[in-house]
């Protein structure tokens, strides 16, 4: 990304320098915990039971580590040289160390008094080490583990990183997997690869993963090409898409179309009057300014939380996923303008939404999409059978489902229908490893599953229907498998005679 400044052509995905600016979407990182927020001056942010302001992060580069000081202020942490291993005093083993709770001289009251005095967490950790009677008897590995544990508890270090597909998918999967249908980040990577997501494509996506799959596709395409999103209900949910902080130019190629109008589009009965007959009380998606209305997002997220309870029914986890995505320009007519201005503004936005729906319908009617991605909480079979008609031949499609059985049924229906090849039902296996000197090993805890993928390619069906011999040739591989062993058995008696 950085080397693109020297090469002519398209600009980097996030134009400008790599400094944090007011209004940017960032991800706060502490150990393995993430939270996506929008940088705003004098706005209190709560993260890991600590509150602070993000005013001081403006102007610093992404990846900077800050320390939370008194008053909720963030100060950049200065790098200090760690003592070499030669100066450490360590024991040979831990067999003589007894965990009786009496090895630490400092009490909880003493530690609280140090915090009240404004002592930094680094100094508190140092005093804990000095007042521990068994620290020097521990092995070097045990000492490092002890220091790491105390730093995590008493040092308030926060790193501000730039949002990306991997970071946001890890964040959602760790804290609220129900919002993304328990899709693991390696499964999402497989979807992008199998779907051949690249710049210049014309893609169709139907997802109910809070906009995470849509954002990953937009990041991969880099603002080139077009994406038609099919959504159920009143409007698409793009809470995770807003976390990416895409520029306005990325939204010019993003279209949405209601899922309940797909059948009429396939039958040729779709018209503009069908869009105007929809109820207008539903909140619309804001595309002109690159943000989302909080009301629409909260309504759709509440529907997801009800449908996927009890995974996302934890107030602490819900607090960690709060996204600041309000548009102050949109609220201005409500606060300072008259009711008439607000109604006119609402009508204007509804007309823009209707216009975008008609453009999406025109793109779908061409039936030459370069790929199809389906990742929803609905049954995949009726969705895939209907949406495959919009995809051009020799194009990939990928379907995600948390469970295997719906995809097995979908696999069977596709084989009966025809028009697809190279069908494959897969599940990725992921295990994390700890890589440290002299103690690299697989981690004790690993993910039990990240979902299943059904992938394949479309082919033209006209020749198959016209020539029955071609249709029968699709099962040649199976016939070879059944006939070949029989042929071998016939050769045996001939050779004996």
Q: In terms of pLDDT, which residue wins out, 463 or 42? A: 42
Q: Which residues contact 445 (CB under 8 A, 6 or more apart)?
A: none
- Going by C-alpha positions, the residue among 329, 331, 327, 325 that lies closest to residue 38 is 325
DSSP tally for the chain: helices H, then strands E: 18, 16
The confidence score (pLDDT) of residue 197 equals 95
What pLDDT is attached to residue 379?
A: 94
Lowest mean pLDDT among 120-129, 152-161, 444-453: 120-129
Measure the CA–CA gap between 342 and 198, rounded to whole angstroms: 40
Q: Nearest-CA neighbor of 211 among 238, 177, 249?
A: 238
Structure confidence by residue, pLDDT tens digits, 57-105 = 898 999 988 888 877 788 887 766 555 444 567 767 777 777 777 778 7
Region 31-60 average pLDDT: 88
Q: Is the pLDDT of residue 446 over 60?
A: yes
Residue with tokens 């291993």: 85
Instruction: Indicate if the pLDDT at residue 484 is higher than 50.
Output: no
Helices (H), 81-238: 108-116, 121-130, 140-154, 165-175, 185-194, 212-221
Q: What confidence score (pLDDT) does residue 127 get?
A: 81
pLDDT (tens digit, 9 = 90+) per residue, 10-20?
333 444 458 89
Q: Which of 50-64, 310-324, 350-364 has the lowest mean pLDDT?
A: 310-324
- 405 phi and psi, to 5 degrees? -60, -45
SS3 at position 133: coil
Kindly tell me if the per-residue pLDDT of 310 is higher than 60: no
Three-class secondary structure of residue 330 per DSSP: helix
pLDDT reading at 326 higher than 50 = no
Is the pLDDT at 398 greater than 70? The verdict is yes
The answer to pTM > 0.75 is no
Instruction: Kindly tell me if the per-residue pLDDT of 357 is higher than 80.
Output: yes
Q: State yes or no: pLDDT of 475 exceeds 70.
A: no
Whether 457 has a pLDDT exceeding 90, the answer reads yes
Calpha distance 324→294 (Å, rounded): 8
User: Tens of pLDDT along 183-201?
Assistant: 999 999 999 999 999 999 9
Q: What is the pLDDT of residues 216-268, one digit of tens each?
A: 999 999 999 999 999 998 889 999 999 999 998 899 999 999 998 898 888 88
Residue 206, pLDDT score: 95
Mean pLDDT to the nearest integer, 378-384: 94
Unique residue bearing structure tokens 């880099």: 222
**Sheet containing 25-30: which strands, arranged edge to edge?**
33-38, 25-30, 157-161, 65-68, 74-76
Identify the helix (H) or strand (E) that includes residue 359: helix 339-365
How many other C-beta atoms are found inside a 10 Å radius of the C-beta of residue 320? 20
**What pLDDT is stored for residue 385 in this prediction?**
93
Tell me how far apart the alpha carbons of residues 210 and 8 are, in angstroms, rounded to a whole number: 35
How much is the average pLDDT of 134-138?
79
pLDDT tier at 449 (50, 70, 90 boundaries)? confident
């Amino acid at each position: 990304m950085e080397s693109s400044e020297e090469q002519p052509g398209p600009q980097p995905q996030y134009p400008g320098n790599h400094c944090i600016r007011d209004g940017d979407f960032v991800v706060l990182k502490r150990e393995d915990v993430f939270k996506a927020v929008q940088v705003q001056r004098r706005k209190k942010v709560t993260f890991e039971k600590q509150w602070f302001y993000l005013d001081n992060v403006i102007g610093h580069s992404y990846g900077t580590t800050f320390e939370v000081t008194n008053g909720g202020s963030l100060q950049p942490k200065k790098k200090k040289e760690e003592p070499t291993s030669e100066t450490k005093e360590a024991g040979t083993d831990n067999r003589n160390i007894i965990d009786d709770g009496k090895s630490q001289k400092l009490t909880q009251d003493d530690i609280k008094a140090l915090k009240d005095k404004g002592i930094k967490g680094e100094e508190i950790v140092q005093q804990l080490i000095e007042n521990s009677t068994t620290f020097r008897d521990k092995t070097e590995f045990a000492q490092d583990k002890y220091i790491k544990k105390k730093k995590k508890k008493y040092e308030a270090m926060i790193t501000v990183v730039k949002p990306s597909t991997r970071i946001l998918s890890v964040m959602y999967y760790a804290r609220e997997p129900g919002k993304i249908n328990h899709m693991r980040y390696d499964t999402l990577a497989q979807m992008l690869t199998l779907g051949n997501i690249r710049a210049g494509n014309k893609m169709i996506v139907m997802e109910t993963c809070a906009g995470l799959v849509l954002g990953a596709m937009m990041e991969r395409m880099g603002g080139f090409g077009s994406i038609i999103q099919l959504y159920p209900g009143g409007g698409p949910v793009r809470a995770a898409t807003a976390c990416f902080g895409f520029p306005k130019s990325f939204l010019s190629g993003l279209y949405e179309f209601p899922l309940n109008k797909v059948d009429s589009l396939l039958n040729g009965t779709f018209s503009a009057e069908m869009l105007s007959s929809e109820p207008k009380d539903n909140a619309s998606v804001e595309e002109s300014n690159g943000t989302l209305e909080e009301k629409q997002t909260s309504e759709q997220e509440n529907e997801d939380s009800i449908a996927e309870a009890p995974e996302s029914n934890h107030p602490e986890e819900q607090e960690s996923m709060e996204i600041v995505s309000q548009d102050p320009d949109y609220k201005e007519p409500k606060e300072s303008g008259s009711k008439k201005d607000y109604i006119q503004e609402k009508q204007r936005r509804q007309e823009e939404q209707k216009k975008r729906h008609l453009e999406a319908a025109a793109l779908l009617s061409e039936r030459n999409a370069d790929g199809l991605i389906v990742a929803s909480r609905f049954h995949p079979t009726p969705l895939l059978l209907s949406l495959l008609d919009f995809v051009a031949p020799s194009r990939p499609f990928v379907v995600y489902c948390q469970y295997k059985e719906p995809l097995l049924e979908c696999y069977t229906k596709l084989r009966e229908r025809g028009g697809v090849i190279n069908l494959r039902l897969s599940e990725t296996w992921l295990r994390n490893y700890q890589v440290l000197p002299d103690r690299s090993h697989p981690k004790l805890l690993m993910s039990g599953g990240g979902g299943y993928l059904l992938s394949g390619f479309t082919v033209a069906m006209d020749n198959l229907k016209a020539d029955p011999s071609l249709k029968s040739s699709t099962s040649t591989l199976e016939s070879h498998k059944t006939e070949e062993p029989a042929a071998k058995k016939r050769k045996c008696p001939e050779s004996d005679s």
